[in-house]
Structures are given as structure tokens and as C-alpha cells.
Amino acid sequence: MLFTLAAASLIRHRTRTLLAILGVAVSAAMLLDMVMLSSGLRESFRGLLQTQGFQLRVAPKGTLPFDTDATIRNADSLLALVRARPGVIAVSPVLGGQLHVPTATGAVTSSVLGIIPRVEGDYEVLAGRQPAAPDEMVANQRLLDALRLQLGDTLRGAAGYDAQLRSLSGERTLRIVGIARFIYMAADQKGAAVPIETLRRMQGADSDDKVSIAMIRLAAGVNVDSERVAIERLLPRVTVISIAEALNQVDQRLSYFRQLAVILGSVSLVVGFLLVTTLVTVSVNERVGEIAVMRAIGVHRRRIVLQIVMESGAMMLVAAPLGLLLGLVTARYLNSILARFPGVPAKLDFFLFQPSAAWTALGLLALSGVLAGVYPSWRSASLPIALTLRQEAVG
Amino acid sequence: MSTVVDVRDLVRDYPMGEERVAALRGVSFQVDAGDYVAIVGPSGCGKSTLLNLLGVIDRPTSGTVSINGERVERLSDARATEFRLMRIGFVFQRFYLMQALSARENVELPLAEAGLVGAARRARAMALLEYVGLAKRERHRPSQLSGGEQQRVAIARALANAPALLLADEPTGELDARTGREMIALFERLNADGTTIVVVTHDEDLARAAKRVIHMRDGSIVGDERAR
Ligand SMILES: Nc1ncnc2c1ncn2[C@@H]1O[C@H](COP(=O)(O)OP(=O)(O)OP(=O)(O)O)[C@@H](O)[C@H]1O
Ligand SMILES: [Mg+2]
């Protein structure tokens, strides 16, 4: 009976119902996106840090990995100490630098990483293989495209370039043996990797025995935090960062994002709430006569509220999946835009779909939809009955 | 014979800006079970105001209203609602059926509210439609029924929970003479079957059919006569 009445009132105003559903779906989508944004970047970053299975990162004291040009000196002997620890499976040193490749029109400049191919954790080889000899390298597609080179080609690259003198330093012939995708590089960034000894030699005597960072893989069951403290004690001139610590740092830097997401999310929730309240108020005001009649023949106030909440609930039920779909589509679109931002790792997602996020968003919305129905319906069910009937009879 | 309605010193004022309009100026009367009372009087004399107070959809300024021995003028909203549902049947001049519901569903509405479910509810609604001669129209919507038919559905709805008192405010007001006469016959049959009825009307035929006629003027009772 209540159901029939609720359905009838929704169907009687088909267009209005549809528009309301669309409106709620849009605000649901917005809310979902904001919930996805607020936690997505962090979760995605965590995933990124975890992909290669290195739990700890060693950086020059007081810096974050690749935060500055600072490097760790005497790295090889220091890292040997780390490698000797029983809980450590592998240590992967990385030296950052630039690779300048002269071309007919000038020079192409790319980021280059010096790594140990056997333990590196910075890229995936998409085609070809890892460097096996000192004069072998991998490059990403961006760099190959810029140089119009292919797998198997050789190039002449330099570690230093003086723009004024137009002179290169540390030149070397390298053969491209693999095409790689660099995990921490931006989509538009040109990248290459060579064995760390090769890069050191190219950079000159100054770079001997240096690394920018090193990544440490621990054996299963090793307590990450106590190992971190132990290594830091072992190497007083470095900072050792666990994934949790790195995420903390990221959190601090991203708090702006999260605040934005929380504010915009709340706004869309409020908009959805107001939308449903408006609709319910309009639809209830149209029916004050009908409601007064129901009250006069003995229908309880709570039943009238229930009927109207059922109406808004039904709209929510349709709007929610629609909003979910819409939210996912827009999130994907926005992600693809943001991924093109300079300096953003291509694999980083700003909007990460997590079922819990979806439930949070839809739950909040459903709750607000129900609450939105309660007040106007309770108010109209509380109007003085005789007076309302008289006014309706006149009007 | 038991008393169904006992009204004492009933006053109802409506505030109108600074002034107060006195719609009822101290009305007292009783109605016995099984009686059939018509309330008549010029427009604006307070008939509807009185009926609304008997139907517990309005509250008096002062005075008391007892229905079936229960004081109802100060009941809480929930208790008043329950009282209307189980003890009062209200028939309106303009029928006031739910447009979205069929004839049978309209009759089922107060039954459902009273907690009756399924086949029992449907059977009771059908019996009531049968009683008012509309069994064949159970599936019709109000918009597919004539005025007289709608009023019969409204009467069936009012009788749903076997009320102690049936109230009707100008039940023939929207009907033509012939349909009005049918309605008068239905009320007589209802009363003969034991229903206590109080009806407000301008319709002289309807008033003549009642056993007792109360005359009102300017918020007071000015005459009370027993017809037969
Ligand atoms: N809500 C209200 N506010 C102010 N005055 C009211 C209100 N309701 C009724 N009145 C006044 O109270 C008086 C009695 O009204 P009531 O409706 O009871 O008359 P009635 O006898 O039923 O008239 P009718 O035969 O035209 O239906 C009238 O003067 C009317 O204007
Ligand atoms: Mg009246």
C-alpha cells in the first residue's frame, strides 16, 4: 500500500524524478571522485613503492630520495656493510644523472640512472634485455623516439654538456639492448639506465664511489622498523626511510590535496542533500491535502514519513549505481589528464578505486537522502489536520 | 442505551489578527449509540468546526469531548491518530480518495494501518465494497468512478475498522439529487444496521431522514428536535 503510493507519486512526476535522479547521480559521482582522490594518491604511491619489493630506501642525511642532487660518498663500502647484514637480501644502489646525446639539430637530454641490472628496481624491461656489459643501456620509448633510434642501435652519449662552450664531457658509445618503462618517471620524461660503474666513469673521478640513493630488500619476517634503526646506526651519514615513513612524508606534502578533496566532497554531499530535500519538499507540499486526509482517517505520522522516505530512498537506489559509473568514468578521464602533468610518475593514480571508498561515498549519500526525506515529510505530517483540509478544499 | 458522544461547553476560537472569531460559543449535547443526528444551520454557524472536534482532527479552545466514554480533546498526536483509526469514520464532502489507489486499495488503507494483512484484509475490503454496492468496481481508480460511486468508496473506507461513530460533512454536497437520494438511503441502511451517525448538511432531504436534528446558529445550538 505504502509502496503503491510511493511508486505512484514517483511515476506521476516522471520528468522530475528523472532529473532528480540525474542530479543526485552527478553529486554522487563527484563525491565518489573526491573520496577516491583523498586516499587514491597515497594508496597508489604505496603500491608504486612496493612494486619492486624494496622495503627501505637510503638517502643522503636529511633528504628524501632524489630530493636534491646530494649524493652519498664512499657508498660502496657503506653499502657492503648493509649487504652483510643477515636480514638483507639485496641492496640496489642508484646514481642519478643526465645523458646528453648530440644530434644534427642540437642535443637530446635525458635522465639516466646508473644501476646494477641484477638488482635494480626502477624500471621494467618491455623488450630486449637488461644491460650485461659496461657499454650497454636500456632506454624508454620517449628517448628512442626523440633520437629516432631502435633497439640494437648504438648512440654516442655524454654525462656533461656545457651549453656555452657547446662541449660535451664524459662521452661514451652505448648500445641500446632493452626498451624499459621507468616506474618513477613522468610519462613525458625521457629516461635511460646504464650500469652504475659506466655512469660513474662518464661523470668523472668526482663520481667514483657515489650513489644518489640505495634501495634495500629485506628477507621475509624481518622487522622493517628495527632494521631501519639498525642500519641508520650503522651508517650515521645517511637517512633510512621505510615505506611507511615515505608515505608519511607524502601525506604531509599531499595534505593540500586531501583537504581539497574533503571540502569538495562535502560540498557535493551537501548539494545532493539539498537536492533531495528540495525535491521532497516540493513533492510533499503538493500533497499536503492528501497527507491531511490520510492523517484524518487514522494513518500515523511515522507511516507518512516512511512512505516519503521510501520515495527518496528509491531514487537513491537508482541514482547510486549511476553515480558510481559516472564517478569511475570521470575519475579515469581526470587521471589521464593528471598523468600528463610534468614530473608525475606515469604509473601514479590520483583517483584510485577502492571498494571501501565507493561504499563510503554511496553510504553517505544514501544516508543523507534518507535524512533529507525525514524532515519535510515529518513537518507536513504534523500540520493541523482540520485547517489543512479546509484550505485544500478552498484551494 | 450507552452514550457515544458527550460534548460539554465546547468553545472554539480562531485567532484572526488581533480579534478572535468565535466559531463555537459553548456547545453541549449527547448522542446515544445507534442514533442518527443531522446538524443543520446557516453557513458559517460552526457545523464543520463542531464535526472536526468530534472527529479528533482539531482541538477545542475549551470544553470537553468524550467519544465512547473516552476523553479525546487533549490526546497526544499518536493516541488521537489511533483513536481516529479505530473509533471514528469520517466522510468528506469531496470524497478525498487516494487517486493512486484503486477502490479496493482505498478501503484497505485504514485496514492496513490497523495491522490487517493479506487475504483477510482483501476479504474485508471486498465485503465493505459489496455493502455499498461497488464490488464490481474494486479495480477502478477514483478518476474512473462517478461522484456517487466515489462517495460510496469513501463510506466503505470510513466503515473499515467498524467505528463507533460515523461522521459526515455535507456528504451529498457534491452530488446530484438522484445520487444524493441513493446516499440518503445508504445512510439509513447503515443506521438501521447499528451505526451511530452524525451528519452535517444543508440538504433538507438528508436532514429529514435523520432521527434527530440539531439546529445551530452563530456558534450555538438553538434547537434540538427528534423527528420520529
Ligand atoms: N481556520 C479558521 N480561521 C479563522 N476562522 C475560521 C477558521 N475556520 C473556520 N472559521 C470561521 O468559523 C466559523 C464557523 O466555520 P465552519 O466552517 O464551522 O462553518 P459551517 O457551519 O461549517 O459553514 P458551511 O455550512 O459554510 O460549511 C466561520 O465564521 C468561519 O469563517
Ligand atoms: Mg462546513
Determine the average pLDDT of the residues in A10-21: 88
> Are B100 and B106 spatial neighbours (Cβ–Cβ below 8 Å)?
no
Burial class (CB in 10 A: 0-12, 13-18, 19+), A338: middle
Q: Of A301, A303, A393, which is closest to B77 when you measure between CB atoms?
A: A301
Give the position of cell 460552526.
Answer: B46
Q: Is B100 on the interface with A (CB under 8 A)?
A: yes
> Pocket of ligand 1, candidates B14, B172, B206: which has the most ligand atoms within 8 Å of its Cβ, to mutate?
B14
Which of A11, A297, A385 is best to mutate for the B interface (most B CBs within 10 A)?
A: A297
Q: B166: which strand partners? A: B89, B197
Distance (Å, rounded) from C-alpha A260 to C-alpha A246? 22
Do A40 and A101 fall within a single domain? no
Domain boundary pick from A236, A270, A290: A236
Domain boundary pick from A211, A236, A261: A236
Determine the average pLDDT of the residues in A181-196: 89
Q: Is residue A84 part of a domain?
A: yes
Give the position of cell 570521470.
Answer: A330
Lowest mean per-residue pLDDT among A354-358, B73-77, B102-106: A354-358
Q: Is residue A7 part of a domain?
A: yes
> Given pLDDT bands bounded at 50, 70 and 90, which one contains residue A65?
low
pLDDT at residue A395, rounded to an integer: 42
Residue B159 has pLDDT above 50, yes or no: yes
Q: Helices A385-394 and A288-296, interaxial angle, to 10°?
A: 130
Residue A274 has pLDDT above 80, yes or no: yes
All 3 cell numbers of residue A230?
639498525
Residue A386: other Cβ atoms inside 10 A: 20
Determine the average pLDDT of the residues in B109-117: 96
> Are A195 and A115 spatial neighbours (Cβ–Cβ below 8 Å)?
yes
Do A123 and A22 fall within a single domain? no
Do A68 and A43 fall within a single domain? no
Residue A259 has pLDDT above 70, yes or no: yes
Q: Is residue A248 part of a domain?
A: no
Do A119 and A153 fall within a single domain? yes
Q: Is B112 on the interface with A (CB under 8 A)?
A: yes
Burial class (CB in 10 A: 0-12, 13-18, 19+), A111: buried
pLDDT at residue B223, rounded to an integer: 95
Q: Regarding beta strands B36-40 and B197-200, do their DSSP bridges make them parallel or antiparallel, or are they unpaired? A: parallel
Q: Is residue A284 part of a domain?
A: yes
Q: Which ligand is nearest to the CA of B203?
A: 1
Find chain A residues with C-beta within 8 A of B57's C-beta: 295-296, 385-386, 389
Do A266 and A225 fall within a single domain? no
- Give me ligand 1 centre to Cα B155, in Å: 24
Domain boundary pick from A183, A207, A236: A236
Which CATH class name applies to B3-226? alpha beta
Burial class (CB in 10 A: 0-12, 13-18, 19+), B54: buried
Give the position of cell 459489496.
Answer: B130
Do A89 and A44 fall within a single domain? no
Q: What is the ipTM for the molecules in this complex?
A: 0.96
Q: Which of A313, A243, A196 is nearest to A54 (CA)?
A: A243
Do A296 and A318 fall within a single domain? yes
pLDDT at residue B110, rounded to an integer: 97
pLDDT in tens, A165-185: 778 888 899 999 999 999 888
> Are A193 and A140 spatial neighbours (Cβ–Cβ below 8 Å)?
no
Q: Is residue A55 part of a domain?
A: no
**Residue A325's domain spans which residues?**
2-48+253-394
Q: Which of B42, B66, B39, B54 is nearest to B225 (CA)?
A: B39
All 3 cell numbers of residue B185?
438511503
- State the smallest CA–CA distance between residue A370 and chain B in angstroms: 22
pLDDT in tens, B193-227: 999 999 999 999 999 999 999 999 999 999 999 98
- State the smallest CA–CA distance between residue B197 and chain A in angstroms: 16
Do A158 and A75 fall within a single domain? yes
Which of A88-92, A229-233, A331-335, B221-225 shows the highest mean pLDDT? B221-225
Residue A2 has pLDDT above 80, yes or no: no
Residue A138 has pLDDT above 80, yes or no: yes
Do A386 and A309 fall within a single domain? yes
| Chain-chain contact of B100 with A382 (C-beta, under 8 angstroms) | no
Do A87 and A226 fall within a single domain? yes
Instruction: Classify residue A345 by its DSSP letter.
Output: B
Q: Is residue A155 part of a domain?
A: yes
Do A275 and A383 fall within a single domain? yes
All 3 cell numbers of residue B100?
493512486
Q: How many domains does chain A have?
A: 2
Ligand 1 close to Cβ of residue B53 (< 6 A):
no
* Residue B169, SS3 per DSSP: strand
The residue extents of the domains of chain B are 3-226
Residue A394 has pLDDT above 60, yes or no: no
The residues near B118 (Cβ < 8 Å, ≥ 6 apart) are none
Torsion angles phi and psi, residue B212, rounded to 5? -145, 140
Distance (Å, rounded) from C-alpha B38 to C-alpha B23? 18
Nearest CA to ligand 1 atom 17: B48
Q: Is residue A56 part of a domain?
A: no
Residue of B nearest to A387 (CA): B58
H helix and E strand count, chain A: 11, 10
Q: Is B95 on the interface with A (CB under 8 A)?
A: no
Tell me the CA distances in angstroms from B174 to A35, B179, B221, one per residue in order.
Answer: 58, 10, 26
Determine the average pLDDT of the residues in B21-27: 95
